Amino acid sequence: MKLYDTIVIGAGAAGLFYGALSEPGTDSLIIDHSERPGLKLLISGSGQCNITHDGSIKDFITRYGQNGRYIRSALYGANNLSLVEFLNKNGIKTVTRDDGKIFPESLKASEILNMLIKKSEANGFPLLLKEHITDISSDDSDGTYNVKTENSSFKTKKLVIAAGGMSYPKTGSDGSLYPLIEKLGIQMIPARPALVPIYTHSYGYRNLSGISFKAVLVRLLENNREIAAQTGDILLTHRAFSGPAILDISRYADKGHKLEINYIYPVTGQRAADMIKADFQGNSRELHTYISRIFKIPDAFAVKLIENAGICPYMKTSCTEGDEITKIAEALTCHRYAVSGTGSFSEAMVTAGGVSLDEVNLRNMESKKHSNLFFIGEVLDIDGDTGGFNLQFAYSSAMAAVKNKK
């Protein structure tokens, strides 16, 4: 049987980064069960591919939840500047938006995918697609690995698992390799959807789908204790709260929590009440029109928010009483919704959970139990915020494995 130098399982972002970053001249292979490589990469950033984020790499650490501190070495070893430089050297210019998100100048994810495939193949990592892996085993006699598919068997000196998680399963990211990883004695943290909408009881904004708010404050509370907070944009959909701030905080959300939103942050409840009182006496405008104007929120949302506070939005502003002003101010700045759940894997942008970080030397992504077995990208228990942080980790972890510093 032919002995490969390296076999990479997974032709997503991390697996292709590994092939593209490797030195040429190897006799290796990238295997994937999908019909096409990089399907998830193609839909990232709505097809425009938000590849990474601007700013100091030290500020990235907090963008990966509680596990971010453990991947400091990988991020510092191959940071966002390094990723942009790699793209530039391979003919892809980038553009940085005002919000810090970095995209290819063409705004086409396909440009990055095609480059990674071409670079991987040139380095000796051809793609073998539509191969469903049925078994992975280590050969203790010579330290190699055997990979079996429905059609073939392969042997390799080094095995790199970049099989992703369970988010967007239609792209091939379905967690089907998890049982085979566990069979190797590797501990897996239970997978759960991340970067998902948050559902609440009595949502009430179905008819306001598409309305968004910029720079709001979102808090999650359990028994009136804050467990997470996030500032950023939110979006009202037909069924749930979404948008970057919601997606980023969703990793902490669970049924029974309270979701608190300040739609006019940094204005406080007291300040909001004072602003309402400033010009309400003798004001003949309908209340919803007045509230919409002074707080610069969509009128349709003002109507619904005032109704949620138990007040008629169509009464004259001058008829509003003190306790009603307080209720409206609270609805604007600290309204709480009971969380009923979060989005499923079909809605998730990434997967939380996966290979436990305790199983891996995070300097080079090598298994602590098996030499020359590596885990990179989303298959690890790392999930980043929106904004290019997950693709950055795909690159950083791939580079760490390629460098293989002990």
* Res 405 pLDDT > 80: no
Identify whether residues 335 and 354 lie together within a single domain: no
Distance CA 355, CA 359 (A): 7
Identify whether residues 330 and 363 lie together within a single domain: no
As a whole number, mean pLDDT of residues 33-52 equals 93
Distance CA 145, CA 324 (A): 70
Identify whether residues 205 and 331 lie together within a single domain: yes
Distance CA 173, CA 181 (A): 15
User: If DSSP codes are grouped into helix, strand and coil, which group holds residue 356?
Assistant: coil
* Res 280 pLDDT > 80: no
The pLDDT of residue 370 is 96
Identify whether residues 151 and 14 lie together within a single domain: yes
Distance CA 361, CA 59 (A): 22
**What does the buried/exposed string (b/e) look like for 238-276 if buried means 16 or more CB atoms within 10 Å of the residue's CB?**
eebbbbbbbbbbbbbbeeebbbbbbbbbebebeebbebb
As a whole number, mean pLDDT of residues 6-25 equals 97
Identify whether residues 337 and 242 lie together within a single domain: yes
Residues above pLDDT 70, as percent of the chain: 100
Identify whether residues 288 and 364 lie together within a single domain: no
Last residue of a domain, one of 318, 342, 366: 342
Identify whether residues 338 and 280 lie together within a single domain: yes
Distance CA 238, CA 343 (A): 13
**What does the buried/exposed string (b/e) look like for 302-313 if buried means 16 or more CB atoms within 10 Å of the residue's CB?**
bbbbbebbebeb
The pLDDT of residue 114 is 98
Distance CA 345, CA 405 (A): 34
Band the pLDDT of 45: cuts 50, 70, 90: confident
Band the pLDDT of 59: cuts 50, 70, 90: very high
Band the pLDDT of 406: cuts 50, 70, 90: low
More confident residue, 320 or 30: 30
Number of folded domains that form the chain? 2
**Nearest CA among 85, 50, 18 for reference residue 374:** 18
Other Cβ atoms closer than 10 A to 59: 11
Per-residue pLDDT tens over the stretch 100-122:
999 999 999 999 999 999 999 99
Distance, CA of 62 to chain centre: 13
Identify whether residues 104 and 68 lie together within a single domain: yes
Residues above pLDDT 90, as percent of the chain: 91
Residues of the domain holding 317: 198-342
The pLDDT of residue 182 is 97
User: Cis (ω within 30 of 0) for the bond into 37?
Assistant: no
Q: Which residue has the tokens 């949502």?
A: 203
Distance, CA of 334 to chain centre: 26
Average pLDDT, the chain: 95
Last residue of a domain, one of 290, 321, 342: 342
Band the pLDDT of 172: cuts 50, 70, 90: confident
Per-residue pLDDT tens over the stretch 192-217:
999 999 999 989 899 999 999 999 99
Per-residue pLDDT tens over the stretch 334-348:
999 999 999 999 999
CATH number at residue 36: 3.50.50.60
Per-residue pLDDT tens over the stretch 305-320:
999 899 999 999 888 8
The pLDDT of residue 278 is 87
Identify whether residues 231 and 112 lie together within a single domain: no
Distance CA 296, CA 307 (A): 18
Per-residue pLDDT tens over the stretch 111-167:
999 999 999 999 999 999 999 999 999 998 899 999 999 989 999 999 999 999 999
The pLDDT of residue 383 is 96
Last residue of a domain, one of 342, 359, 382: 342
Identify whether residues 241 and 381 lie together within a single domain: no
As a whole number, mean pLDDT of residues 75-86 equals 98
Identify whether residues 205 and 308 lie together within a single domain: yes
Identify whether residues 285 and 204 lie together within a single domain: yes
